[in-house]
Amino acid sequence: MFKSGFIGIIGRPNVGKSTLLNTIIGEKIAITTYKPQTTRNRIMGIKNIENGQLIFLDTPGIHKATTPLNQFMVATAMDTFRNTDILLMLIEAPEGVHRDDQLIIDALRNIRLPVILLLNKIDLVRKNKILPLIDQFQHLFSFVEIIPISALTGDGISILMEQIWNILPEGPRFFPDDMMTDRTERFIAAEIIREKIILLTHQEVPYTTAVVVDSFKEDEKKNLLRIQATINVAKDSQKGIIIGKKGAMLKEIGTRARREMEKFFATRIYLELFVRVRKDWTNDPRMLYELGYTEKK
């Protein structure tokens, strides 16, 4: 018997969805930061086991969106409800029931999918607080299981995988054994650069930055990847912040991104970064389309 299926990972921003995906797959394929709304696109991670294939879908955080970019992100996450076999809903155990958790639970009432609730970050909670929290969520929705976990440390992940396997239907092998994600190398390179920008800059800059890889060429003779990428920002002042005094910030972003790319791609990287201002791109449907954040022009 071979089992396979799609497992959506949903939750409000910054609850640990990408960290969970990376822990399950065993590789960093989704960027993670301490700042909310880091994930903008759906990212697939493929877990191949002896008699099954588990396809996990990491999604942007669900919240009340106001800008076109944030509306795209929420729509991407909500679309997961219709295209999966199982849903994993993450909440932050230290915070208890958040208003955006309730927003997601209300949306779940209209679907007929098994939903597993994961109480994440239990390494930050006293044990005597967990059972009351489980009881509280049991009264909010009919979850098939409620599992305390730590996506960061891996605590509870084996229990989660057993539960997923029990629910997962029989099915075909959708992807080759050696495939870890459906995302291209260009996408992963762009996300690594964007992660370093988020970690190194502050205020609105991380949320108004989009990275596009313009060139991705392999130099086999030199065992080298040559990557050129453009960092798009919404204001002239943000361009100055990204470049920094005498180019120091841009150099630091490039250095950190290059080091991580070399680990991921297992080769030397030559990285060139450029910065371009695209005025108010987060509110412009045409530019959102060009930067890969909408499906329609």
Q: What is the pLDDT of residues 67-78, one digit of tens each?
A: 788 888 888 877
The Cα 76–Cα 277 span in angstroms is 26
Task: Please name the residue that has the structure tokens 């080298």.
Answer: 224
The Cα 235–Cα 230 span in angstroms is 15
Whether the pLDDT of residue 294 is over 70: the answer is no
Whether the pLDDT of residue 40 is over 80: the answer is no
Least confident window among 6-20, 93-107, 160-174, 222-236: 93-107
Specify the pLDDT at position 16: 93
> What per-residue string of b and e applies to 27-58 under the rule 16 or more CB within 10 Å gives b?
ebbbbbbeeebbbbbbbbbbbbeeebbbbbbb
The Cα 111–Cα 104 span in angstroms is 12
The Cα 75–Cα 5 span in angstroms is 22
Chain region(s) in the chain for CATH 3.40.50.300: 3-167
What mean pLDDT is predicted for residues 171-194? 93
Name the CATH topology of 3-167: Rossmann fold (3.40.50)
The Cα 146–Cα 89 span in angstroms is 10
Name the CATH topology of 185-290: GMP Synthetase; Chain A, domain 3 (3.30.300)
List Cβ neighbours of 128 (8 Å cut-off, separation of 6 or more). none
CB 69 within 8 A of CB 239: no
Please give the DSSP secondary-structure letter assigned to residue 152.
Answer: T
Q: Is 99 helix (H, G, I), strand (E, B) or coil?
A: helix
Chain region(s) in the chain for CATH 3.30.300.20: 185-290
